[in-house]
Amino acid sequence: YGDDSALQIDHVGSNPAQLPEVHLTSMRSQSWGGGEVVPQSRRVKFPAPGVPVAVRGEVGEGVMIMPVPLKVMMFIDGTWLYYSFFSRGRHRCPIIKQYGEGWAGTHKVDWKAVHDHVCEEIAGHLPGRLVDVSKVVVYGSVKKDTNPQSLRIRMFQDMLEQNFEVHLLTHQGEQEKCVDISLAVDMMHYATVAESYELCVLITGDKDFMPAMSRVKSKGKRVVLATMRNSCNRDLLDKSKHVIDLDPVFLDDQLDKIITRRPKEGDVGYAFVHQALCDILVELLNSKGGKESLRDVGRHLQASSIKGQNALELLRSQYNNLGSFLDQWPAMFTVHGPHVYLAGQEEDLGGEELEFDGDEGFETAAAGDVLEDQGVELSEED
């Protein structure tokens, strides 16, 4: 090892890959550039053959020995990610189970922490490689008339603030167009571009990407899937399908790292939102003689605000949809057919059945059906 005063080796370094670390900062007189032979007394003894060592410090022209970084690109299915984090039923959502139904009002997703968690998992599978993410690309869509303060748009804005490259399309009807195709095409395109990436991370739970994943692997690239346990189609996790190279990265394993509390001065807490929503609905129903259609209630909430935030979006963040909110307060509101009533002011309701309207945030399917876009199988409870 030579003179200990000039050379120090830490067998557990502070670099991101936790490699043994050599410090050269105290070596003042040697210059190792220009093809000179390194003196025997100054040579570094590597911990083991083939094990890379991170070297810190510069001496004259110096020599830096670093492991070759693993070139990575991340591709994010923004639509799937939004529904997995913000629009799941309270019985199936791990975030609601851990932080409560009002979590989006008091907490937020730290998208940089999501990025860091994925990188740490990759580094754990490939010891000795530094993970160099050159690009994080997000693909999503919104309706043209989506409120700018909606959770969906705010999610994409938060990603932009983290320097993610966001491709946000707009559409007129209920069904988004071209988002999945755009992601798949770009992922395959960059697989053919020299020096773009050696490994790509796909954050999704949608099995429609499996053909693209296979094509990327055929180009000699590695593919890693990052997903949520109960929001991922089973085929993506089936090793016999040969679409991923490493174990999946499950985002819900690190919720305590990727979900952070909002600053207290900006909190719109559960109890406050509940009371404000009740006040808005009671005032509306009193002005309408105790009865209003669910559609018009939704429109009224869309046009109302609570502490500067859209009332309908706050309702969705804490209760998922209008029906869930009303069901929790039977002493105040009664829903029958397409209408909501103030409790005690119902008329003869007859045999009407409750109708759910997609514009108000309802999502319907028979028990046992699978929402293919999200890979979620519905239970009787859902």
The reported pLDDT for the residue numbered 269 is 65
Question: Mean pLDDT over residues 328-337, rounded?
Answer: 75
- The CA radius of gyration of the chain, in Å to the nearest whole number, is 27
Local structure of 278: helix, strand or coil: helix
Residue with tokens 């890959």: 17
Cα 226 from Cα 229, distance rounded (Å): 10
* Other Cβ atoms closer than 10 A to 155: 21
Least confident of 208-222, 254-268, 271-285: 254-268
Spatial contact of 191 and 215, defined as CB atoms under 8 Å apart: yes
Provide the residue count of the chain: 382
Rounded to the nearest integer, the mean pLDDT of the chain is 75
Cα 250 from Cα 376, distance rounded (Å): 15
**Percent of the chain residues past pLDDT 70, beyond the cut:** 65
The reported pLDDT for the residue numbered 332 is 76
pLDDT digits (tens, 9 = 90+) for 127-165: 878 899 999 999 999 888 777 777 888 899 999 999 999
What the block records as the tokens of 352 is 């009407």
pLDDT digits (tens, 9 = 90+) for 66-112: 567 899 999 999 999 999 998 776 677 898 888 887 777 778 899 99
Contacts 24+ apart (CB under 8 A), 283-290: 285/333, 285/340, 285/341, 285/342, 285/345, 286/342, 289/345, 290/341, 290/342, 290/345
- pTM listed for this prediction: 0.59
Instruction: Considering only residues 293 and 103, tell me which one the structure prediction assigns the higher pLDDT.
Output: 293
Cα 104 from Cα 89, distance rounded (Å): 14
Sheet arrangement for strand 165-171: 165-171, 131-143, 70-77, 199-203, 222-227, 249-250
Least confident of 10-19, 136-145, 333-342: 10-19
DSSP assignment of 300-317 equals HHHT-EETTEEHHHHHHH
Asked if the model's pLDDT at residue 348 lies above 50, the reply is no
**Percent of the chain residues past pLDDT 90, beyond the cut:** 38
The reported pLDDT for the residue numbered 274 is 75
Asked if the model's pLDDT at residue 226 lies above 60, the reply is yes
pLDDT digits (tens, 9 = 90+) for 167-213: 998 877 666 767 899 999 999 999 999 989 999 999 999 999 999 99
